[in-house]
Structure 1
Amino acid sequence: MGIKTALPAAEVGLYSLVLSGALAYAGRGLLEASQDGAHRKAFRESVRPGWEYIGRKMDVADFEWVMWFTSFRNVIVFALSGHVLFAKLCTMVAPQLRSWMYAVYGALAVVGTMGPWYLLLLLGHCVGLYMVSLLGQPWLCLGLGLASLASFKLDPLISWQSGFVTGTFDLQEVLFHGGSGFTVLRCTSFALESCAHPDRRYSLADLLKYNFYLPFFFFGPIMTFDRFHAQVSQVEPVRREGELWRIRAQAGLSVVAIVAVDIFFHFFYILTIPSDLKFANRLPDSALAGLAYSNLVYDWVKAAVLFGVVNTVARLDHLDPPQPPKCITALYVFAETHFDRGINDWLCK
């Protein structure tokens, strides 16, 4: 590992000044481009009425973001609020059973969202990797885990497995791939940990408690089995000093980020402009630079909001989840090891 040293304050200030000026210049060009294209025919599908009282339309090209905060908002709030409520009651009444409460509530939420057959499909993957872990061969566990992941990307296996989902809805494909992919990653983490420590004798119940923890189930982040098991097994968890304040601060930052994105999409149509290549080809270089940078930052904000909400709930459950992804502006190397810290922990294990 290299030695890390802080840059001089004057140098950091100079870099920040140059970056701020460049972003302001690029943002001005992008704002003008958004205003010019607001009434184009190609923009009609994804630029919808927004703040009518000031004549602003809104970029709604990202259907996932729109679904999270419109039709699925109440479902998400209801499910996570129920999780927090039951977790608190269980911690007060029977703290030794809280890990079971997490698993049962998560499994019921999966059944309510995706149907019982989808739950059976995931249980099949869990049991398969658990059985292989009993052999104590890490290469076999990793091989089966990779094969299971591949089965959700290759036909006809993907078509067959997607048929286990009950009904159809807007985010069905996203939830299917998210729940399935993260399930395999979690099961692989469990299997490798079992092989590394055969003396600990982890059970299938431990795997199910780990996999069906609802806040992490569909969208992550990945928390390795050893960390999750050690933290969730604490009978009388104790919060560190100032922990509740940090939880409230994180929740507040998530709300601020959501509002900021909503405001941003009323002025900058960064997701719609790339869909009209004829219009994009006429943009000046400054606007194109702002467009590219804005899309990268939006991907980070989207992940940070998702992880922020989930991590807030996890911290209320006395867990220490992986930290949110780093802002790409602050990275000198853009890689998964820096962006998604949960995946990085999983790969390192």
Structure 2
Amino acid sequence: MMVTCVMCMEEGSSDEPRILRMYSRASLCKTMKHDPLPKSEYYTYLLLSLGIHFYSFYEVYVSSRDHEEFLEEEVGLERDSYFLGLKKDVTDFEWSFWMEWAHSQLFGLMLGHALLSQFTRIVFEKYRPWILMVYGMVVCWLVLGTKGLATIFLNTTIFYVIAQMKIPTITWLSSVLVLLLLHNESVEDIQRAWYGSENEYYLLQFTLTVRSLFYTSYCLEYSSLQASDKSPFSLPSLMLYIFYYPLFHNGPIITYNEFTKQMFAQDRRWPNFHLSGLVADVFRLVLWWCLAELMIHTMYIHAMYSSYSILKDVSYWTLGGLALAQVLFFYVKYLVLYGFPALIVQLDGLKAPALPRCVSTMYSFTGIWRCFDVGLHRFLVRYVYIPMGGSHSGLGGMLLSTASTFIFVSYWHGGHEYLWYWAALNWIGIIGEYGLKRLLSLPSLQDRIDQSLSPKTYRRLHAALASVSTALLILTNLVFLGGEQVGKIYLERLFVQGWPWIPLVMFGCLYCFAQVGIEWRLFLYPKYKGKFPLCSRTM
């Protein structure tokens, strides 16, 4: 669901962070000494961060119990025998929707794809891609019906014809038109009439929304086709790309060039993985699912967010805990929703986009847009940001490219009013970070910083600035997850009613989080230890 650093939106290898490879090339991405903190100081920040998380979550748990009867009456909670009879918060539509479909059909159909893929790898390796394509079509017919299959087949054929024109503008107009029709009331009424339940209709909506990116990727790749390029661009190869089942309903997003490069380069050997690694991946997936279920059984996060009167009344610790729990649940949810398809893709011998990075270790807008939804990030970089000029087109071009990226991603998510607020806040946050990095990259200022600040002092200053960025970042995510009214309540309570002590405490907590995030980045990429990029990969 996210974008990237406006200064470093370039294509490159996914094995090494592009943002880190660009230091020597980008004048605005100079390195600076950034020594690790003393162990005692770091562990103090770590313990404080953990304590803040656990105590605020405890406050949310207590508040959930206190308001349980009210929430059950107003919103609706379900008793679940699987979790010691605890009541379950079912107001997160996305989680409830996908778990219901997974239990009923999708889990078995995914396993069917995995078994068929391994069987054909042994017996019909030459025809394996086309057998998987047929399987995807059959499954599409089973879950979406004849009309759903016909709709996707018709869209695929139309976009194949559009691709032959090799005109990116027509591709984008067609893609936007498809999204517009998806949210047209008359079209929605027609599609609803095809099914007996709302869940079937919404599955079609999710599928068509994700497929629109796949159509667009194919057409734009075909538009840039060179005479010497031998990539497959036939109608069957497009059908394979569209109907490849692990990515069919909800992604993650893999661009056409990445998909075909891997799918048609497969040899007759089994994928390079070990049984112990596969078992560990499955165990982690189950653990993430259990954690997500535990959160919605013990903390009624989403139900409380739907009751503005509760948000206006709870303690500040509960308010902060709800914000942390909301964004962490969103993170864990997508570890599951993307983790299972990624596991099936791995069994097929393909490389899925990296799973989301933990939001508690991120401390910038640029980091979360790069590291949360990696597949969508690559799509936006390759097809929106760079073609619009990107950072190489000057300040004005960069501002326009970034704005265009956010406009498209907001429109793709549905174009609701709160999404435009969310996009505007993210745009402001990224531009603010970009402006600060440009300022700090001025030679005269860099020399003065080097002379007057020690590496440890510079790091502490960076963490202080990152706490401000993180506060705005959390606010934008709350708007995305809860709507603009939730954002207004947080601003009112924290910065008007709680001024000045509550904001000071909040920034102090976020300062600890930022220090842990910076240390974690240095741990992940030890070869960059002692240097700190002004264009940080993490948030």
- State the 1:168 CA deviation: 2.3
| Distance (whole Å) between structure 2 residues aligned to residue 189 and residue 54 of structure 1 | 47
- State the 1:82 CA deviation: 1.0
Structure 2 residue 127 is matched with structure 1 residue 97: yes
| Distance (whole Å) between structure 2 residues aligned to residue 227 and residue 272 of structure 1 | 40
Decide whether the 8 Å contact of 2:221 with 2:256 is kept in 1: yes
Q: Which residue of 2 aligns with 1:225?
A: 256
Question: Could you say if the C-alpha distance between residues 34 and 235 of structure 1 is closer, same or farther in structure 2, counting changes exceeding 3 Å?
Answer: closer
Decide whether the 8 Å contact of 1:42 with 1:276 is kept in 2: no
Question: CA deviation digits over 1:303-347, x for unaligned, max 9?
Answer: 110100010011011110111122221222244333211011111
Which of 307, 323, 327 is the matching residue for 1:296?
327
Which one is further off, 221-230 or 48-57?
A: 48-57
One-letter amino acid of the structure 2 residue matched with residue 282 of structure 1: D
Structure 2 residue 91 is matched with structure 1 residue 61: yes
Question: Could you say if the C-alpha distance between residues 213 and 279 of structure 1 is closer, same or farther in structure 2, counting changes exceeding 3 Å?
Answer: same
Partner SS for 2:197: coil
Question: Could you say if the C-alpha distance between residues 332 and 97 of structure 1 is closer, same or farther in structure 2, counting changes exceeding 3 Å?
Answer: same
Question: Could you say if the C-alpha distance between residues 5 and 188 of structure 1 is closer, same or farther in structure 2, counting changes exceeding 3 Å?
Answer: farther
Q: Which residue of 2 aligns with 1:30?
A: 60
After TM superposition, the structure 1 = structure 2 runs for residues 181-220 of structure 1, keeping only pairs within 5 Å, are: 181-199=209-227, 200=230, 202-220=233-251
Which one is further off, 216-225 or 31-40?
A: 31-40
Structure 2 residue 111 is matched with structure 1 residue 111: no
After TM superposition, the structure 1 = structure 2 runs for residues 154-169 of structure 1, keeping only pairs within 5 Å, are: 154-160=184-190, 162=191, 166-169=194-197
Which of 109, 113, 133 is the matching residue for 1:83?
113
Which one is further off, 148-157 or 295-304?
A: 148-157
Which of 365, 371, 378 is the matching residue for 1:338?
371
| Distance (whole Å) between structure 1 residues aligned to residue 264 and residue 108 of structure 2 | 26
Question: Could you say if the C-alpha distance between residues 221 and 241 of structure 1 is closer, same or farther in structure 2, counting changes exceeding 3 Å?
Answer: closer
Which one is further off, 286-295 or 22-31?
A: 22-31
Q: Which runs of 5+ in 2 are unaligned?
A: 1-21, 23-28, 383-539
Q: Which residue of 2 aligns with 1:250?
A: 281
Partner SS for 1:197: coil
Which one is further off, 166-175 or 124-133?
A: 166-175
Question: Could you say if the C-alpha distance between residues 54 and 186 of structure 1 is closer, same or farther in structure 2, counting changes exceeding 3 Å?
Answer: closer
Which one is further off, 36-45 or 182-191?
A: 36-45
Partner SS for 2:265: coil
Q: Which residue of 2 aligns with 1:348?
A: 381
| Distance (whole Å) between structure 1 residues aligned to residue 285 and residue 358 of structure 2 | 14
Which one is further off, 260-269 or 307-316?
A: 260-269
Decide whether the 8 Å contact of 1:126 with 1:184 is kept in 2: no
Question: Could you say if the C-alpha distance between residues 45 and 307 of structure 1 is closer, same or farther in structure 2, counting changes exceeding 3 Å?
Answer: same
Partner SS for 1:125: helix
Which one is further off, 98-107 or 45-54?
A: 45-54
Decide whether the 8 Å contact of 1:141 with 1:192 is kept in 2: yes
Question: CA deviation digits over 1:157-180, x for unaligned, max 9?
Answer: 4444x25x7422352243122210
Partner SS for 1:258: helix
Decide whether the 8 Å contact of 2:75 with 2:303 is kept in 1: no
Question: Could you say if the C-alpha distance between residues 156 and 282 of structure 1 is closer, same or farther in structure 2, counting changes exceeding 3 Å?
Answer: same
Question: CA deviation digits over 1:184-212, x for unaligned, max 9?
Answer: 11011011111111433611111000010
| Distance (whole Å) between structure 1 residues aligned to residue 345 and residue 32 of structure 2 | 31
| Distance (whole Å) between structure 1 residues aligned to residue 83 and residue 261 of structure 2 | 53
- State the 1:86 CA deviation: 1.1
Q: Which residue of 1 aligns with 2:36?
A: 8
Q: Which runs of 5+ in 1 are unaligned?
A: none
Q: Which residue of 2 aligns with 1:329?
A: 360
- State the 1:271 CA deviation: 1.4
TM-score relative to the length of structure 2: 0.60
Which one is further off, 280-289 or 131-140?
A: 131-140
One-letter amino acid of the structure 1 residue matched with residue 222 of structure 2: S
| Distance (whole Å) between structure 1 residues aligned to residue 45 and residue 272 of structure 2 | 36
Question: Could you say if the C-alpha distance between residues 52 and 204 of structure 1 is closer, same or farther in structure 2, counting changes exceeding 3 Å?
Answer: closer
Question: Could you say if the C-alpha distance between residues 8 and 66 of structure 1 is closer, same or farther in structure 2, counting changes exceeding 3 Å?
Answer: same
Identity %, equivalent residues: 23
Question: Could you say if the C-alpha distance between residues 71 and 77 of structure 1 is closer, same or farther in structure 2, counting changes exceeding 3 Å?
Answer: closer
Q: Which residue of 1 aligns with 2:207?
A: 179
Decide whether the 8 Å contact of 2:117 with 2:128 is kept in 1: yes
TM-score relative to the length of structure 1: 0.90
Using CA pairs below 8 Å that are at least 6 residues apart, which structure has the higher relative contact order?
Answer: 2
Which of 139, 151, 164 is the matching residue for 1:134?
164
- State the 1:12 CA deviation: 4.5
Question: Could you say if the C-alpha distance between residues 157 and 242 of structure 1 is closer, same or farther in structure 2, counting changes exceeding 3 Å?
Answer: closer
Which one is further off, 18-27 or 59-68?
A: 59-68
Question: CA deviation digits over 1:272-310, x for unaligned, max 9?
Answer: 112222233221000011011111111111111010001
- State the 1:122 CA deviation: 1.3
After TM superposition, the structure 1 = structure 2 runs for residues 236-315 of structure 1, keeping only pairs within 5 Å, are: 236=267, 238=269, 242-315=273-346
Aligned length: 347
Partner SS for 2:314: coil
One-letter amino acid of the structure 1 residue matched with residue 297 of structure 2: H
Question: CA deviation digits over 1:99-156, x for unaligned, max 9?
Answer: 1112111111111111111111112211121111111222222222222222212343
Partner SS for 2:69: coil
Which one is further off, 213-222 or 57-66?
A: 57-66
